[in-house]
Amino acid sequence: MTYRDILVEVDADPAAQDRCDQAARLAKGFGGHVTGVFLEPDFTMPSTAAGGAWIPPALLTSVLEAHSAAVNRAEQQAGAWLAAATQTAQVGCDWLRLKQDSTRRFIDYARGADLVVVGPGRTPQGDFHVTPTEVAFGCGGPVLVLPDAPRPASVGRRVLVAWNGSREAARALRDAWPLVSAADQVAVAMVSPRLDRADVSAMQQRFERRGCKVEVFVETSEEASVGDTLRGQVNDWKADLLVMGLYGRTRLAERILGGVSRAFMNDPPTALLVSH
């Protein structure tokens, strides 16, 4: 498995420039191709009209034209960032602009990609069409969530794998192997109230069979403190990528994600590779 087809969500937010740069670097490293996706922001009716008040046709036309012009400027900026990043990395790129039902259509394209690069989850007030959780639950493959700030200069040099023996953790690790095997240094944070020495030994052997030397950190933390433990390990070990599974009882309800998953998708401590 490798990441030959990389899909990146791009908007006019300055953080999107970093997503373009990281996606282009990964494509260069894996001999791949980048597709940038611009999600057209929804048009919001003026407050007077939204409340049912009559709005003069001329004013409505003016507002629609201003919205269209702003969207076009945003797309031009986003496209310029992707073009510059892929030109520097000397990799090919395509461009998509999605207008209607953006979330569904974005996920449709994401299902055909080897890796999807997105920003973190935003607050309900944020102008963000598709959340990383929706993408991860919907696309069936690895999703790289890049923090807005602070941003790692590179992704995948120092990879920390969060492991608790679950199906979700196993899926994330399998999907992350292209990055894990290419990393300079790899560590595993085994976080569980109860761990057996045989589990630690088996994990080390698993990596060694793939030619990876790995450090193993054993943390006997309770579930309530897993998030704090992982954030501490990321900071102490200076990881530029954290690999972890997503936990939730249903694919349809983001609101009932496990607490650690929700917190990390909204505010990742470093670049985060997840799979579900």
pLDDT tens digit sequence for 175-222: 999 999 999 999 999 877 666 777 888 888 999 898 888 999 887 766
Tens-place pLDDT, residues 1-57: 799 999 999 998 899 999 999 999 999 999 999 999 998 887 766 665 555 566 778
Instruction: Round the CA-based radius of gyration of the chain to a whole number and report it.
Output: 20
CB 182 within 8 A of CB 48: no
Distance CA 131, CA 103 (A): 8
Region 134-161: mean pLDDT is 90
C-alpha to C-alpha distance for 40 and 102, rounded to whole angstroms: 8
Please state the CATH superfamily assignment of the domain spanning residues 5-43+71-145 in this structure.
HUPs (3.40.50.620)
Q: Which CATH superfamily is domain 158-271 in?
A: HUPs (3.40.50.620)
List pLDDT tens digits, range 67-111: 889 999 999 999 999 999 999 999 999 999 998 667 888 999 999
From-to residues of CATH 3.40.50.620 in the chain: 5-43+71-145, 158-271
Task: Tell me which residue of 81, 157, 131, 158 sits closest to 274, measured CA to CA.
Answer: 131
Those residues whose C-beta lies under 8 Å from the C-beta of residue 22, and which sit 6 or more positions away, are 117, 144, 146, 154, 155, 271
